[in-house]
């Protein structure tokens, strides 16, 4: 049996920013879903990998990308 490690990142906020975050989450080992209601977006990003170290590296890169967008 192969181990699978998972991290889930959730965000909610302005719908226009949600689409930018969704694009940033389009990367290997990430599955992102975006929903909208009344101008508010909800984004869920699920990151999976068989290697815990690789998972950490992917999540670190994802968080840096999201922080860069937030800082703009």
Give me the domain span that covers residue 13: 5-71
Predicted pLDDT at 1: 72
Enumerate residues 6+ apart whose C-beta is below 8 A from 30: 45, 46, 47, 58, 62
pLDDT at 72 over 80: no
Give bridge partners of residue 36 from the DSSP assignment.
Answer: 41
List C-alpha distances in Å: 8 to 26, 63, 72.
14, 12, 24
CATH of the domain at 58: 3.30.70.60
Could you give the number of structural domains in the chain?
A: 1
pLDDT digits (tens, 9 = 90+) for 6-52: 999 999 999 989 999 999 999 999 999 999 998 899 999 999 999 99
The structure's pTM equals 0.91
């Amino acid at each position: 049996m192969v181990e699978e490690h998972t991290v889930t990142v959730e965000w909610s906020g302005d719908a226009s920013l949600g689409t930018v975050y969704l694009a940033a989450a389009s990367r290997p080992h990430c599955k992102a879903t975006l929903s909208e209601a009344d101008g508010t977006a909800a984004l869920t990003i699920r990151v999976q990998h068989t290697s815990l170290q690789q998972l950490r590296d992917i999540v670190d890169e994802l968080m840096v990308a999201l922080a860069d967008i937030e800082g703009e």
